[in-house]
Structure 1
Amino acid sequence: MAKAFNKIFWGSLLVFFNFYINNFDILPNFLGYLFIYLGLTGLMSYSDQFSKAKTYVLILGVVSIPLIYQFEAHITEQIEMTTNTYILMAIYMVVAFVQLGFVYHFMRGLLEIAQVAPFTSLEKKTGTLLRFYIILTIVTQIISLLILISHAFALSLAPIILVLAIVSFIVEIILLVLIRQFRSKSLEQDMN
């Protein structure tokens, strides 16, 4: 179990960090999703939720391939909403909901492991983080939809977008820490 969590952790870390050189992602997300997929395969015997999560990870891996190239964004005083901007925003919204599906099933699987193992200290953390992640994703996508409908909202929602970006960053780090904690607990359990 610890090896599977290790793969998921490193895969999530690859997805989390984006390093671009000349607009190309040198650590492509699809590699991270491959690691996550392999890790989920190792956890399938503990919960069928991990099998469901694999489907979403496969979709994310395929969708992330064309996103290796980052289109140049020119920052001006006025936000320009081009056709490419709308298309990219729509793609990222779909990706966010697929990501939500993955995280939902992954964390439901973690909850099942926490209940059976028992990892009681991690059970409450996982449930709370799952609820918060769902709410954060939905709020973020509603705001993105408002911007997509009328770009006039973009400037007025800028402070909210900044706060959501910071909170999302923190939540992703908490998720990485949680994965590491499950790995540590599974190592302890294997030792006993």
Structure 2
Amino acid sequence: MARDLRSDLLTAATALVETAGSADAVTLRGVAREAGVSAPAVYGHFADLTALLDAVVDRGFDDLVATIRAATADLPDPVDRLRAGCRAYVREGLAAPARYRAMFGPRRPAAGARAFDTLVAAVDACVRAGRSASRDPRADAALVWTALHGTVTLRAGGPDLPWPDLDEQVDALVTRLALVSPPVSDGTA
């Protein structure tokens, strides 16, 4: 089986971002060493370090969207999907905080559009189901996104602080900011 060197280089760069705590600390030589190849081998797959780190960010957003989709795939209720997706978002960010910081740094700010559109669609699904009072799903999704980002950033920066339960915190901020309501009872109990 042939080695997928491009993927191996991305994996090595991602690991180094996390180990070093910052994309700024990653070098092409370090990535090559981590992947077990010579430094010139990197150039067969990436023009330079910037291109490699941009690919790390792109993969980070691909992983984020895949994690959200996996967490929400089997949930029929749109509010349950929204909450589960938001919890998955926070957990993904906390699992790799240095990569998460790189994803939201100056490298590729537009790379997160697909992840944000996933959140907008989730809020909109709640509106269409009559489960959210939002009049502007995009604006309310931006509020939720900001709160999720703050949750990841603050918890990653102070992991030993006495934070409230993660699921309860995320569910509360989603409920308030996306203006969601519990399901309407059908009278059966």
The structure where helix makes up a greater share of residues is 1
Bigger relative contact order, structure 1 or 2 (CA pairs below 8 A, ≥6 apart):
1
- TM-score norm. by structure 1 comes to 0.30
